[in-house]
């Protein structure tokens, strides 16, 4: 079995590493798994989703986006989210649709959202800022947790390594924090040859240099919904919102940071179709 096939088949495997608790399986129909553990006090709880491909011909992109906004709002109603991150490819080669997908869909989330471009968004820094209010490389601190979000493409859709000078500058600002997350649409490492990623050992080395970087989050490959590693640093994927290919379900990832900076993350089969890991004995 190839590394890629093994990874996909084991996408709901547990993870115990550097304070990150085991991943759990997709939610039950009652969504009880979305509830925090009894008595657990959370510092931060957010969702991350990617690859909506709004406007892609031959897809039900409006239905996909309406569904995802509804599912995220429902999850927030069960157990409150602080915000949502949309990790790239909001649109499909149609940057003119970015204002539409924001206004008609993401602005209807019941929590704030933050977005970073993917290779299909084909937009420049000025346009991105005019639509979303921040640049395509930015950082933020939420409840004592740092986030660095960096662009990995350009207006032609070329796959690029992120701006490492920017990442270093922002990570240096967060050295006093116990937990920092990095968000990159296109991963900086070639785990298997057939994956269309960017090989940027400089980026990987930089991320490894900061012990408080607890995880990196990626989109781009719609068929991936779990974790790869560079040394001991986990890189998480979250399936896809829309588009014409990928996992057979639509999903997103939940991330929780408790008061002791213990991180829990798990992938959600939001569409619940097909049911995952069903067994009859």
CATH label of the domain that carries residue 164: 3.60.21.10
Res 39: pLDDT: 59
What confidence score (pLDDT) does residue 191 get? 84
Contact 33, 249 (CB under 8 A): no
Q: What is the pLDDT of residue 197?
A: 81
Chain segment 27-45, per-residue pLDDT in tens? 444 344 455 555 579 999 9
Question: What are the angstrom distances between the C-alpha of 117 and each of 40, 96, 138, 159?
Answer: 34, 14, 11, 12
125, part of any domain: yes
- 72 in any annotated domain: yes
Q: Which domain holds residue 161?
A: 3-11+40-269
Q: Which residues of the chain have pLDDT under 70?
A: 1-39, 195, 274-281
Cβ neighbourhood burial of 8 (10 Å; 0-12, 13-18, 19+): middle
In a domain, 27, yes or no: no
Structure token digits, residue 72: 């995220």
Tally of CB atoms within 10 A around 99: 13
212 found inside a domain:
yes
**What was the pLDDT predicted at 181?**
98
**How many domains does the chain contain in total?**
1
Query: Is residue 34 domain-resident?
Result: no
CA distance 114 to 107: 11
For 51-77, write each residue's pLDDT tens digit: 999 999 999 999 999 999 999 999 999
Asked if the structure places residue 21 within a domain, the reply is no
Q: What is the pTM of this model?
A: 0.88
């Amino acid at each position: 079995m190839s590394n890629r096939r093994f990874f996909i088949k084991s996408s709901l495997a547990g993870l115990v590493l550097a304070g990150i608790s085991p991943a759990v399986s997709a939610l039950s129909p009652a969504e009880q798994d979305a509830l925090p553990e009894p008595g657990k006090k959370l510092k931060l709880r957010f969702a991350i989703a990617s690859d909506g491909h709004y406007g892609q011909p031959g897809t039900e992109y409006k239905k996909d986006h309406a569904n995802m906004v509804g599912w995220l709002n429902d999850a927030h109603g069960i157990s409150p989210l602080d915000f949502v991150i949309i990790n790239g490819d909001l649109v499909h080669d149609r940057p003119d649709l970015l204002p539409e997908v924001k206004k008609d869909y993401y602005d209807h989330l019941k929590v704030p959202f933050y977005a970073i471009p993917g290779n299909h968004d084909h937009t420049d820094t000025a346009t991105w800022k005019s639509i979303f209010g921040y640049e395509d490389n930015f950082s933020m601190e939420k409840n004592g947790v740092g986030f660095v979000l960096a662009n990995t493409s350009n207006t032609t859709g070329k796959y690029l390594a992120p701006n490492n000078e920017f990442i270093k500058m922002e990570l240096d600002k967060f050295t006093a924090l116990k937990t920092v997350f990095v968000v990159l649409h296109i991963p900086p490492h070639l785990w298997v040859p057939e994956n269309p990623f960017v090989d940027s050992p400089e980026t990987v080395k930089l991320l490894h240099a900061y012990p408080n970087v607890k995880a990196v989050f990626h989109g781009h490959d719609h068929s991936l919904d779990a974790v790869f590693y560079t040394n001991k640093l986990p890189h998480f994927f979250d399936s896809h919102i829309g588009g014409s290919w990928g996992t057979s379900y639509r999903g997103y990832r939940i991330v929780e940071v408790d008061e002791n900076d213990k991180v829990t993350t798990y992938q959600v089969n939001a569409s619940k179709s097909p049911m995952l890991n069903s067994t009859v004995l």
